[in-house]
Amino acid sequence: MRVIVVGAGVVGTMHAWHAVNRGHEVVQIERESEARGASLRNFGQIWVSGRAGGEELETALRARELWEDVGEQVPGLGFRPCGSLTPLRTELEIAVAEAAVARPDAAARGYKLLTAGEARAINPALRGDYVAALWCERDAAVEPRTAQLALKQKLEASGRYTFLGGREVREVVGTASVRDDHGDVHTGDAVILCTGAWLGGLVRELAGPELPVRRVRLQMMQTDPLGEALTTSVADADSFRYYPAYRSEALDALNAGQAQAPTAAEHRMQLLMVQRKDGGLTIGDTHEYEHPFAFDVVEEPYEHLTRVVESFLGRPLPRIRHRWAGVYAQCTDTSRVVHRQQVRDGVWLVTGPGGRGMTCSPAIAETTANELGW
């Protein structure tokens, strides 16, 4: 087969990966010279721990297997099975963790409630203020700024892959055919539109104005090298409020009895933190849902995150060297893993994984490939 993939983010690139590895020819078209969107502006977390039970967790666990397999083939991904720790400070936070550990699928996630000493044995850099921690062994990480480039280089070595950057697909012109803004027509046996947060233009024309996907904006930052290893990903207890795996009576009690810090509540924040290969820390994030989005970043969320991180590390953060905002596409029904829709003969739209894109993309693409009979 000949597969046309539109979009070079992680979801599109994983569709290209599955097609090439099943023996097909792929043409991947990207409107930027290289991917520039949410696939680069994220933590690089393979975040199994917070996923909803059922299909979402199954997708994340399958994706975790696939990421590990791809990581063995593509060292440039920087795949590492680092797990995650969520330091806990109060009885209400510990109760939420205890409820998570009691879930029937807790073993699949690698949940374990640790003392502060046990957590420090796993991650000695967390020498700050907390009394317990939730350990999630199945979480992992990759390097988001280099992952797509590393995957592209591996795909190009197959001899069945062509990357066309700096081209925007403008219209569908028949069965499994699209025309780009250079006037070139690309015809295959299937066209997969993985356009991420680009939901206007051609996507709106094809899927209609009622596409059940929204855009979400976030703010993040990255520091200079920490100077020591942060051996796991790190979250704070505010993350319990945002991930469906933690929904429970204990979470209701936390929400009722322990308010978020005002800045965290205003910007719908949680702490997530991952160390990069160069030793710097990627730290975030905020959530903004109302359009139009702000065009600038605001400082108060960064100040809040700095205080939280420093309290866990027990030391000052290194200098912040990057601040950025990103936008991703999320299904309005957040229980859905992804929106997959045939929009024309031979043309499918795959979008809306939200904050699950980096985690789930290999399994999302595998499902597309299976359903289309590649």
- Residue 140, φ and ψ in degrees, nearest 5: -150, -175
- pLDDT above 70: percentage of residues in the chain: 100
Residue 36 above 90 pLDDT? no
Task: pLDDT band for 92, please (50, 70, 90 cuts).
Answer: very high
Looking at residue 302, its pLDDT comes to 98
What tokens appear for 349 in the block?
């739209």
For residue range 280-307, what is the model confidence (pLDDT) as tens digits? 999 999 999 998 999 999 999 999 999 9
Does the domain formed by 1-82+141-210+337-374 have CATH 3.50.50.60? yes
Q: How far is CA 215 from the centre of its chain?
A: 14
Looking at residue 262, its pLDDT comes to 97
Residue 40 above 90 pLDDT? no
Provide mean pLDDT across the span 197-201. Answer: 93
Burial class (CB in 10 A: 0-12, 13-18, 19+), 338: buried
Looking at residue 253, its pLDDT comes to 98
C-alpha dihedral (37, 38, 40, 42), degrees to nearest 10: 160
Residue 18 above 90 pLDDT? yes
- Cβ within 8 Å of residue 33, ≥6 positions away: 165, 166
**Superfamily of structural domain 84-137+213-331:** D-Amino Acid Oxidase, subunit A, domain 2 (3.30.9.10)
Alpha-carbon separation of residue 200 from 13, 193, 205 (angstroms): 21, 13, 8
CA distance 264 to 213: 25
Looking at residue 348, its pLDDT comes to 98
- Cβ within 8 Å of residue 193, ≥6 positions away: 6, 7, 169, 202, 203, 206, 343, 347, 348, 349, 350, 351
Alpha-carbon separation of residue 258 from 90, 96, 238, 267 (angstroms): 9, 12, 10, 17
Looking at residue 78, its pLDDT comes to 96
For residue range 298-353, what is the model confidence (pLDDT) as tens digits? 999 999 999 999 999 999 999 999 999 999 999 999 999 999 999 999 999 999 99
- Work out the mean pLDDT of the chain and round it to a whole number: 96
CA distance 327 to 218: 6
- Residue 312, φ and ψ in degrees, nearest 5: -75, -40
For residue range 106-137, what is the model confidence (pLDDT) as tens digits? 999 999 999 999 999 999 999 999 999 999 99
Residue 244 above 90 pLDDT? yes
Alpha-carbon separation of residue 51 from 8, 46, 57, 100, 253 (angstroms): 25, 11, 5, 11, 21
For residue range 71-91, what is the model confidence (pLDDT) as tens digits? 999 999 999 999 999 999 999
What tokens appear for 92 in the block?
């209400």
CA distance 270 to 287: 9
26 contacts 3 by C-beta, under 8 angstroms: yes
Looking at residue 243, its pLDDT comes to 95
Provide mean pLDDT across the span 211-223. Answer: 97
- Residue 368, φ and ψ in degrees, nearest 5: -60, -50
Looking at residue 144, its pLDDT comes to 94
In the chain, what are the domain boundaries?
1-82+141-210+337-374, 84-137+213-331
